[in-house]
Homo-oligomer: A and B are copies of this chain.
Amino acid sequence: MDKPATNIDTIAKTCIAGRLRLINRVVSSIYDDALRPFGLKISQGNILIFTGKLGIASPVQICEYLQLDASTLSRNVELMRKNGWLEEVPGEDARSRPFRLTEEGKRLIESAIPAWEKAQAEAKELLGDDFVSSLNKAAKRASESNRA
């Protein structure tokens, strides 16, 4: 009710961003470790997955879904294209550079699924059911937020 003076200890104990970033580091490392044998990191893995879901994906679509900066996606796509996992698809609008999974990209995903399942189980175990169940709703909200 009252508004106590915020101090360093309060921030250390309650900062949402700090906690999220910490959890993010730990969880990403779980998935990165599991996917390392495939030369894949979860950052790129999620882009591949959404590309596969869309069939033909435009950068702007992926950026909107994942709330990624366009320049970040651009560089990630370039790397995955070099790896042979994605290929460009010519489209009508010359401004856009849509892309899709290559056959090799599809095979990569298929082969990495057991590793993903293992990481997913480990993350669930670590974070607890409460947190994981509330994650969906929060992610939906965040994905739909239009911060710039």
The residue of chain B having its C-beta at the shortest distance from the C-beta of A119 within the complex is B17
Q: Please report A residues at the B interface, Cβ cutoff 8 Å.
A: 6, 8-9, 11-12, 14-31, 33, 42-43, 45-46, 49-50, 52-53, 66-68, 109, 113, 116-117, 119-120, 123-124, 126-128, 130-132, 134-139, 141-143, 145, 147-148
Query: What is the oligomeric copy number?
Result: 2
Q: Do A21 and B17 have beta carbons less than 8 Å apart?
A: no
Q: How far is the CA of A52 from the CA of B7 in the complex (A)?
A: 10
Q: Do A143 and B22 have beta carbons less than 8 Å apart?
A: yes
A53 with B12, Cβ < 8 A, contacts A17-B31, A26-B67, A29-B147 known:
yes
- Residues on B with beta carbons closer than 8 Å to the beta carbon of A67: 22, 25-26
